[in-house]
Chains A and B, each alone.
Chain A
Amino acid sequence: MIGESGSGKSLTALSIMGLLAESLEPFGSVTVTGQDGRHTQVVGTAEGDLAAMRGRDVTMIFQEPMTALNPTMRVGAQVAEVMRIHRTVPDRHTAAARAVELLDKVGLPDPAEAAKAYPHQLSGGQRQRVVVAMALANDPALLICDEPTTALDVTVQALVLDLIVRGVEARNAGMLFITHDLAVVASVCERVLVMYGGRVVEAGDVQQVFTQPRHRYTRGLIGASDLDLTRPDGRLYTIQGSVPSAGALPHGCVFRNRCIHATVECESQPRWEGSGPEDGFACWHPVRVRDAQGVGGS
């Protein structure tokens, strides 16, 4: 899932977890299906009944590893605890042994010793590895990653991305990967959702969306992200203006006040064109194939 800040990516993730702030009231439905085939209807289910789903069927990794870690608890014990809470291991001893095994799998050097460390004794990249171990410990059906590598150095990011993808593939789990970095999405995802102004404006296969975007915002975002492609004057392609705050979005097409292709039609909300929620776009004047400008376009 891509989109600039404030487009609603994190709120979407939190609504899947049933973790929206009290002040926010969700409508619609979210169904989570666990590895065991059990369904949970997230919207409308009481907090206490969601606890079994969170941390087992769906787990989440955030940008800042310390949001998931307890600073006063050894990291091995924290990994063991998530398994004990959901009773995915028979006893204490097994949990501790399995925690060390998981820390080994996520590439912490000397995992038995690392298990005894407190979070502050680890580097940022190592802490995020511990969080990955915790998120994968109960073999979830879905792993949600909200900008998990944005705070990491680029060489550490490469290793942590690899770790996440390998962990997800080994478990046959699904992954929702949220980032503003298009190149990261293209490296780790098969499908992509483009969000803007609280709506999914385009969806589809990564290759398709990035090489032949249809929505005008998607096209603008790709153009502005691409530092290898410049206008004839050597400058970068841009989108005019900036993302409005949630209360200040225009009615109709939410991108209307920044779109150079906007017409009066755009004052009413564009229909979703496509085979279903998995593939389509909502734009009155989509990019035509012949002037499509995705990656490598001219």
Chain B
Amino acid sequence: MTVPAAPQAEGMPSSSPASAVPAVRLREVTRDYRRQRTSMFTPAPVVRALRGVSLDIAQGQRFGIVGESGCGKSTLLRIIAGLDQPTTGSVEIDGTDISRLPERRLGFLRERLQLVFQDPMGSLDPRMKVRDIIAEPLVSQGKRDNLPRVLELLEAVGLQSEAADRYPHQFSGGQRQRISIARALAPDPRILVADEPVSALDVSVRAQVLNLLDELVERLSLTLIFVSHDLSVIRHVCDSVAVMTRGEVVEVGATEQIYQQAEHAYTRALIAAAPRLRTALAGRTAADLAADTLAAKESR
């Protein structure tokens, strides 16, 4: 191994001159949450959700963020999407620092960056027809007569045009995720941020949705930021990955490189712990998974 595992921009593949400004640049981002005070005499405890995250995500990159529950993945995404502000540090989207911008000046961000969440049911208004759900980002930009665009988007995500006049509950989980992808693409964003978009789906549907994302990202030349707890999904989708634990990025680089030769003990434990069909059939048991996970955790 020659490449140092610095959780910094230096480890990233260099971008072409035309896209010298990264899609996302984070510098020393921290986010502290204050918990409810438990006693009148002690100060409210502080949860340090992010502890100095620095990252560059190049234009057109497929960037994965992997880590276990509570490691700060979703907090980081919310900050990148301008839904939350960092306690300290800076967040640049296409070269513009959004970390101190007031809500009313974030309009450009809504055009450039859109989100897809894990639970499509929770993020789709059950009382709205699909056509209105998909058109919502356009309406908030003051656009009218959006039906042609809605039909175009439905086709792009593999749904029939009749879907426009139905309600979210009339669709399966995978179809609902297609609807939320269509809504995210409506304002023609350059950056698509997906937070565990296939974690709630059955495997047969997971494959369909991953293929759809793959195709759309390629066809529309999007920058994709993809958060997952599952490194094998990230490995399939993303060319680069950041590994997070306890509010820190401990390793960042090319996905395949990290998969083959992880530098950090935590990354190695993640890889060792994940059961894989081929190796399991070759005889790797639960005892091996556990032993390798513990050994990786203690390695340095």
Contact = CB atoms under 8 A, between A and B. Distances in A.
B278 A239 contact: no
Nearest to A188: B286
B287 A238 contact: no
Contacts of A184: 275
B293 A155 contact: yes
A155 B270 contact: yes
A186 interface: yes
B203 A162 contact: no
A158 interface: yes
B37 interface: no
Contacts of B281: 186, 206-207, 210-211, 295-296
A223 B203 CA distance: 10
Interface stretch (A33-41, A175-183, A263-271, A275-283): A175-183
Nearest to A245: B172
A4 B204 contact: yes
A4 B202 contact: yes
B270 A186 contact: no
Interface string B151-172: 0000000000000000000001
A12 interface: no
Interface stretch (B3-11, B43-51, B230-238): B230-238
Interface footprint category on B: 35 or more
A237 B207 CA distance: 7
A154, A183, A207, A240 interface centre (most CB from chain B within 10 Å): A154
Interface residues of A, number: 47
B55 interface: no
B204, B211, B272 interface centre (most CB from chain A within 10 Å): B204
A257 to B, nearest CB: 13
B68 A242 contact: no
A157 B235 CA distance: 20
29 contacts: A4-B202, A153-B68, A153-B69, A153-B229, A154-B229, A154-B270, A155-B270, A155-B293, A157-B273, A158-B272, A158-B286, A158-B289, A158-B293, A161-B275, A161-B289, A165-B286, A182-B277, A187-B285, A188-B285, A188-B286, A210-B277, A220-B204, A224-B207, A225-B203, A225-B207, A227-B236, A240-B208, A242-B173, A242-B204
